[in-house]
Chain A
Amino acid sequence: MRVNFTVNGRPQEADDVWEGESLLYVLRERMGLPGSKNACEQGECGSCTVRLDGVPVCSCLVAAGQVEGREVVTVEGLADFAKQRAEGGGCASGACGTTLQNAQQWEAKGTDSHTGEGTELSTIQQAFIDAGAVQCGFCTPGLLVAADEMLERNPTPSDADIREALSGNLCRCTGYEKIMDAVRLAAARQSEAV
């Protein structure tokens, strides 16, 4: 079957989608967006977290057919998504969003991959780099999407709020303390910017 939906602000079309296929599979294998990670395929680990109509969900548990006509934001579009939000949202020109090609090539490299310098990053992405919250990096995309959504809802989270918001994301390097640091840092930087 064919599925039409919006990915990172741009309309996309996926063809020959199997009826039992997950949104995660469509993103990774049909659209070439490997940012959302495939680990447990049962909603345990959160590494496939994306925003579906603004709400964080495990993309491995959404049937592809269910996203027809809906909006998905993946980690590849997070920097642009956060930028739009900071600028007051809306996309009157239709020129915002992240093209599939840009998303496919998206890397946090810039001129220096260790500091993220030279890349346009969202606050939460920069904070993860600065706080050293990335070890093997596999859980990072899901954590970024989940943490960014929490900060959108709750700009001044307590530690308990952060733990709760990230309770569906597992890090098997167990770098949770640095991840906590990163989210606190992002929250502090966001409140300074306002």
Chain B
Amino acid sequence: MDFLRPASWEEALAAKAEHPTAVPIAGGTDVMVEINFDHRRPEYLLDLNRIGDLSEWEVGEDSVRLGASVPYTKIMENLRGELPGLALASHTVASPQIRNRGGVGGNLGTASPAGDAHPALLAAGAEVEVESVRGSRRIPIDAFYTGVKRNALAADELIRAVHVKKADGPQQFSKVGTRNAMVIAVCAFGLALHPETRTVRTGIGSAAPTPVRAKAAEEFLNAALEEGGFWDNGQIITPSVAKQFADLCSAACNPIDDVRGTASYRRHAVGVMARRTLTWTWESYRGTRRLTEGAA
């Protein structure tokens, strides 16, 4: 095994081009487990810790450019306002020790369907900035996950940052597990209201071969909210609409039975989380509407 220690992003790209099998390691919270258990013996480890700007973020006009190695702890502490869904999801990652090391770049690189960041990224809307010596490109999050632990990266590419849209409305994240800490999601659900475009976006984790959006559920809800004038009148969502939304979210799942839960449980739980996160976010939206009206 060789340990490659690029001091700059350009050096890292050159190293990855020269050794496409090199395994990037940043927080190490996935890679080191595999090495410790002898599940993996990469020919090259490509350490990204010395590249400082991977751990930085910039808050722009419409989106946040989040460096691939920004640890979850920093997201929780600094980006709760801009990226509430991702901050909530970050808080459910493992333990403080793991959150101090792991970041969204690793979640995306591993591309496990159980990665906690994925539902939040899908719901908020995001693009993954990847680069190789051949050039840079941005992959829409919907096109990023290609299979179980597979993503759209080419062999010579590295993840540099994620561009996540700043919240224009309430966002929620919900996760099912046996305790609050150190839990791999049995299943998870992210939901974001986008009042500016009058749309709702979702993200489902651990209930299909890849993280997915419940697109049919989103379309149904967008139409129902528009039709009922909900965005303007701020009324509570009709229980039958919430139920139909939840059922469609369950239907978007394609889960398996495994040690953490059965497929039917996952389908059921995703429906429950869909209904709850919709209620929470909608109540929050109604609250801010009332405040704005009161002030006017």
Binding site for B on A (CB under 8 A): 1, 18-20, 22, 41-44, 46, 49, 55-58, 60-63, 65-66, 68, 146, 164-165, 167-170
A140 CB to closest chain B CB, in angstroms? 16
- B182 A44 Cβ-Cβ under 8 A: yes
B15-42: CB near A (< 8 Å → 1, else 0) gives: 0000000000101110111011100011
* B98: Cβ under 8 A from any A Cβ: yes
- B37 A41 Cβ-Cβ under 8 A: yes
- B36 A42 Cβ-Cβ under 8 A: yes
A59 CB to closest chain B CB, in angstroms? 9
- A168 B28 Cβ-Cβ under 8 A: no
- A62 B28 Cβ-Cβ under 8 A: yes
B5 CB contact (under 8 Å) in A42, A65, A146, A168: A65
Other A-B contacts than A20-B1, A63-B3, 15 sampled, CB-CB below 8 A, are A18-B1, A20-B35, A42-B33, A63-B25, A65-B3, A65-B5, A65-B45, A68-B5, A164-B96, A165-B96, A167-B180, A167-B181, A167-B182, A168-B98, A168-B182
A43 CB contact (under 8 Å) in B3, B47, B94: B94
A50→B108 CA distance, assembly (Å) = 27
Evaluate whether A1 and B3 lie within 8 angstroms (CB atoms) in the complex, with A65-B45, A168-B95 already known.
yes
B139 CB to closest chain A CB, in angstroms? 27
Closest to B27 in A: A61
Evaluate whether A65 and B47 lie within 8 angstroms (CB atoms) in the complex, with A44-B182, A167-B181 already known.
yes
Closest to B41 in A: A20
Closest to B1 in A: A19
* B2: Cβ under 8 A from any A Cβ: yes
Evaluate whether A58 and B98 lie within 8 angstroms (CB atoms) in the complex, with A20-B41, A44-B182, A66-B25 already known.
yes
A167→B181 CA distance, assembly (Å) = 6
Evaluate whether A168 and B3 lie within 8 angstroms (CB atoms) in the complex, with A20-B35, A62-B28, A65-B45 already known.
no
* B101: Cβ under 8 A from any A Cβ: yes
- B96 A56 Cβ-Cβ under 8 A: yes
CB neighbours of A168 from chain B (8 A): 94-98, 181-182
CB neighbours of A18 from chain B (8 A): 1
Consensus secondary structure, chain B interface:
loop
Closest to B99 in A: A168
B44 CB to closest chain A CB, in angstroms? 9
* B235: Cβ under 8 A from any A Cβ: no
- A46 B1 Cβ-Cβ under 8 A: no
A173→B96 CA distance, assembly (Å) = 21
* B100: Cβ under 8 A from any A Cβ: yes
CB neighbours of B264 from chain A (8 A): none
* B49: Cβ under 8 A from any A Cβ: yes
B28 CB contact (under 8 Å) in A55, A61, A169: A61
CB neighbours of B94 from chain A (8 A): 43, 168
A164→B93 CA distance, assembly (Å) = 12
A168→B102 CA distance, assembly (Å) = 14
A117 CB to closest chain B CB, in angstroms? 32
- A42 B37 Cβ-Cβ under 8 A: yes
Closest to A168 in B: B95
A14→B182 CA distance, assembly (Å) = 32
Closest to A150 in B: B96
CB neighbours of B101 from chain A (8 A): 57-58, 61-62
A42→B37 CA distance, assembly (Å) = 8
CB neighbours of B35 from chain A (8 A): 20, 22, 63
A25→B241 CA distance, assembly (Å) = 56
12 contacts between A and B (CB under 8 A): A1-B3, A20-B35, A41-B36, A46-B95, A55-B100, A57-B100, A61-B27, A61-B33, A61-B98, A61-B101, A63-B45, A65-B5
A167 CB contact (under 8 Å) in B25, B28, B96: B96
